[in-house]
Amino acid sequence: MFKYIIKRFFMAILTIWIIATLTFILMMSIPGSPFNDVSDKTSNEAVQENLEAHFNLDQPPVIQYVYYLKSIATFDFGPSIKKPNDTVNELLGRGFPISFELGILSIIVALISGIALGVLAALKHNKIIDYMAMTIAVLGISIPNFVLATLLIQQLAVNLNILPVATWKSPAHMVLPTIALATGPMAIIARLTRSSMLEVLTQDYIKMARAKGLSPYKVIIKHALKNALMPVVTILGTLLAGVLTGTFVIEKIFAIPGMGQYFVQSINERDYPVIMGTTVFYSAFLILMLFLVDITYGILDPRIKIHDEKGD
Amino acid sequence: MNKILEVNDLHVSFSTYGGEVKAVRGVSFDLYQGETLAIVGESGCGKSVTANSIIQLIPKPAGKISNGQILFKDQDITHYTERQMRNIRGVDISMIFQDPMTALNPTLTIGDQLTEGVRQHENLSLKDAKEKAIEMLNLVGIPNPEERLQQYPHQFSGGMRQRIVIAIALICEPDLLIADEPTTALDVTIQAQILELFEKIQEKTNVAIILITHDFGVVAKIADRIAVMYAGKIIESGLKKEIFYNPKHPYTKGLLHSIPRLDQKNEKLIPIDGTPPDLFSPPVGCPFTARCPHAMVACEKVYPLRHEESQSHYVDCWLYDERVKHITKINIKPKEEYK
């Protein structure tokens, strides 16, 4: 187990290095620089040169790359070019907890409601409840979250006035963004749970569990659901990535002060340190999440062993 | 001896998109304590459906017992509700499935799967249940039971798993054990061990066994009585000796001729030509008519009257009717005749 974690750790570093390098190449290849904003009256050539020198942008790309790798290695991405009062780490520290809260909340809501809906649909296979659940699922998959968000605001916040329109202050503020963000993943989870549950329910061990005279609750939760959740865990990693990046759009709509605004702005403004910082940070976070998902496999299914291969 | 089970005129049908499949069409038999009844027949003859409907594990709502009666220890359990059945399943009637590779839940430990039934039914503490589980694993011949309880099914071989399945079925000391092709998925050497285990267990617990199989080798080893099923009906039934040495129905004869034998050199196996009838619309007469070398006009029109060869041996076939002697020419199909 320990060896496995070490191995995964080095794999993660390699992955982050590749992502960082690709990001760097992409940043270098897009035209423009942080200082050629025409609307900025104060900028003149002398000031611009000074600034470039300050952020090492006058150096050749190879040297910049070395500085860049150094900043990743020390987790110090330096100050933002466009927001001189903030360092990248401060931006992350301020924005990420909110984005994380929204993302995790949505994933939890999506998991619970998706699994419940899927199990219900499987148990009532080909009955009205099944059809209703699957209609909800299809709607959830096909309606983009920004459309749903707008509809929710229009109906629940503006017309009925029962929930706040925007921002991120109290639990009531969290309801609409969470629903908007959770619906897509919920629909995917519901469909997966349903089909995998239907398959598991025909297995011999379910019949065997019933032949033991166990209660339906035990047969479904203990014997069927644990096995049916494997595919859900598989896509959980991808869903997490989707939800965490999906927060950017939702944050914009609900005016939530999360990471999204900084990320999108930084790309438009060529704010190199912020682009680097957020990209590397998000990659590291996703790699960690995927690692947790892999560990969950081993817990759910004992046949999947997380162990050290012989001789390594 | 106590009568454990009595099945009277059992009809089971399944409604499908294509129509109603009459899988079991009037099956009657009884079973006494400590006895082994083998239900033999080819695939799709209704033997598994018969077994599953006793414990009400046929897929619902598609399948239903449309007629007949199942008496377990003189109690009519035919129309018991799910709740009532739960108190019978595992406790009074247990079931063993064909494939031990799929009958155990891969994500739960053996110990958990062994004890959950007995804990639910007998309210045993975890410790007592564990002791009982160890006792059962000893009985079915699994070494180091204490350690083995912590392990998962994939850590056991096929034969071991079937032993565990048997242990699970027996842990609440049932009166009736239904074994649905318990050895079909196993190696021949393991088959013999499992059959010996059945014999040992029966001797020890006096449990009645219904053995569903298509393997006459298995039947020869452990059955006391045999019921031969064809197209949803028991067409011949008798003691093991009677069926093996004095088979009456052409179908039974055909089955016995299609088994390879060691004591006869170069003997060709004689297959039974054709396939069983369509159970969407089963024939009114004898269902074997189309494949039978001795078929007569009457066979197609009317289901045979029961001919009692002895007190324990009966056969549903027109060939043994008194009146057949007076028919001058039997319509024998141009085909090699069975002995």
Q: Tell me whether residue B27 is in a domain.
A: yes
Tell how strand B63-72 and strand B75-76 pair up: antiparallel
Residue B121 counted as domain residue: yes
User: How many interface pairs between A and B have CB atoms less than 8 angstroms apart?
Assistant: 77
Q: In chain A, which residues have their Cβ closer than 8 Å to the Cβ of B154?
A: 302-303
Over residues A194-202, the mean pLDDT reads 93
The Cα-based distances of B156 to B115, B148, B165 in angstroms read 18, 9, 12
pLDDT tens, A239-260? 888 888 778 888 888 888 888 8
Contacts of B224 (CB under 8 A, 6+ apart): B35, B36, B37, B239, B240
| Alpha helices, H only, B171-291 | 188-205, 216-222, 240-245, 250-257
Interchain contact, B120 vs A205, CB within 8 Å: no
Hey, how many other C-beta atoms are within 10 angstroms of the C-beta on A112? 13
Do B199 and B66 fall within a single domain?
A: yes
Percent of chain B scoring above 90 in pLDDT: 52
**What whole-number distance in Å separates Cα of residue B209 and Cα of residue B194?**
14
**Residue B249 DSSP symbol:** S
User: Do residues B198 and B245 both lie within one domain?
Assistant: yes
Domain closes at, from B273, B293, B321:
B273
- Does a structural domain hold residue B299? no
Do B153 and B198 fall into the same domain?
Answer: no
CA distance A224 to chain B (A): 9
Residue at A308 is within a domain: no
Nearest CA in chain B to A226: B107
Query: What is the mean predicted confidence (pLDDT) over B48-74?
Result: 89
Mean pLDDT of A87-94: 86
Do B211 and B62 have their domain in common? yes
pLDDT score recorded for residue A234: 84
Q: Residue A199 sits in a domain of what CATH number?
A: 1.10.3720.10
Name the domain boundary from B173, B201, B218. B173
Q: Could you list the residue range(s) of the whole structural domain that residue B259 is in?
A: 3-92+174-273
Q: Hey, of A198, A203, A212, which one would you mutate to test binding to chain B, going by the most B CBs within 10 A of its CB?
A: A212
| Residue A242 within any structural domain of the chain | yes
Which residue of A lies nearest to B93 if distances are taken between CA atoms?
Answer: A211
Of A212, A226, A300, the CB nearest to B116: A212
Whether the CB-CB separation of B28 and B234 falls below 8 Å is answered with yes
CB within 8 Å: A203 and B91 = no
Query: What is the model's pTM?
Result: 0.80
Is A126 contained in some domain?
yes
- Going by C-alpha positions, the residue among A38, A32, A190 that lies closest to residue A111 is A190
Backbone angle region of B236, left / alpha / beta, with phi > 0 → left and psi within -120 to 50 → alpha: beta
Indicate the burial class of B27 (C-beta count within 10 angstroms; 0-12, 13-18, 19 or more): buried
B178 and B168 belong to one structural domain: no
Same domain for B62 and B115?
no
Of the pLDDT bands very low, low, confident and very high (cuts 50, 70, 90), residue A109 is very high
B103 and A214 within 8 Å at the Cβ level: the answer is no
> How many angstroms separate the CA atoms of B22 and B31, rounded?
24
What's the gap in Å between the CA of B123 and the closest CA on chain A?
13
- Bridge partners of B32, per DSSP, are B3
**Residue B2 touches chain A, beta carbons under 8 Å:** no
* Residue A276 included in any domain: no
Give the count of beta carbons closer than 10 Å to the beta carbon of residue B238.
23
Examine the pLDDT at A193 and tell me if it is beyond 90.
Answer: yes
Task: Quote the CA–CA distance of A131 and A142 in Å, as a whole number.
Answer: 16
Shared domain check, B189 and B69: yes
Cross-strand bridge partners of residue B230: B233
**B16 has a chain A CB within 8 A of its CB:** no
Q: Which range has the worst mean pLDDT, A99-103, A257-261, B31-35, B282-286?
A: A257-261
Question: Of B249, B273, B297, which residue sits at a domain end?
Answer: B273
Task: Say if residues B26 and B10 touch (Cβ distance below 8 Å).
Answer: yes
Nearest-CA residue of chain B relative to A301? Answer: B107
Which residues does chain A have within 8 Å of residue B105's beta carbon, measured at their own beta carbons? Answer: 205, 208-209, 223, 227
pLDDT tens figures, A205-217:
999 999 998 988 8
Q: In terms of domains, do B188 and B198 share one?
A: yes
Query: What integer pLDDT is reported at residue B247 of this predicted model?
Result: 92
| Burial zone of B210 (CB within 10 Å; 0-12 exposed, 13-18 middle, 19+ buried) | buried
- Asked whether residue B221 is domain-assigned, the answer is yes
| ipTM of this predicted structure | 0.84
pLDDT of the residue at A40: 58
How many domains in chain B?
2
| Side-by-side strand order, sheet with B63-72 | B19-32, B3-16, B63-72, B75-76
Tell me the per-residue pLDDT of B160-180, one tens digit each, with 9 for 90 and over: 999 999 999 999 989 999 999
B290 part of a folded domain: no
Note whether B173 contacts A: Cβ–Cβ < 8 A: no
Query: Which residue range(s) make up the domain with A218?
Result: 92-259
Identify the H or E element spanning A247.
Answer: helix A230-254
| The two three-digit tokens of residue A53, written as one number | 């020198």
What does each C-alpha distance from A118 to A26, A141, A195, A234, A263 come to in angstroms? 41, 14, 8, 16, 35
- Whether residue B283 is contained in a domain is answered as no
Please tell me whether residues B150 and B255 are part of one structural domain.
Answer: no
DSSP A154-207: IIIIIIS--S-SS-SSSHHHHHHHHHHHHHHHHHHHHHHHHHHHHHHHTSHHHH
Integer Cα distance of A278 and A40 in angstroms: 25
**Confidence label for A37 from pLDDT (cuts 50, 70 and 90):** low
Per the domain annotation, does B325 fall within a domain? no
Give me A260's structure tokens: 């999204």
Answer whether B154 sits within 8 Å of A303, measured CB to CB: yes
Asked if residue B117 and residue B70 are part of one domain, the reply reads no
Question: Min CA distance, B335 vs chain A (Å)?
Answer: 42
pLDDT tens digit sequence for B7-27: 999 999 999 888 899 999 999
- We report the CATH number of the domain holding residue B41 as 3.40.50.300
The answer to whether the Cβ–Cβ distance between A211 and B99 falls below 8 Å is: no
- A306 pLDDT band, cuts 50/70/90, is low
Q: Tell whether B86 and B209 lie within a shared domain.
A: yes
Residues in chain A, total: 312
The domain total for chain A is 1
> Are B46 and B192 found together in one domain?
yes
**What chain B residue is nearest to A218 in terms of C-alpha separation?**
B116
Of A12-16, A93-97, B257-261, B286-290, give the lowest mean pLDDT range: B257-261
Contact criterion met (CB < 8 Å) for A203 and B102: yes
Task: Please give the residue of chain A at the shortest CA–CA distance from B172.
Answer: A212
**Does residue B223 lie in a domain region?**
yes
**How far off is chain A from B334, nearest CA to CA, in Å?**
45
Whether residue A77 lies inside any domain: the answer is: no
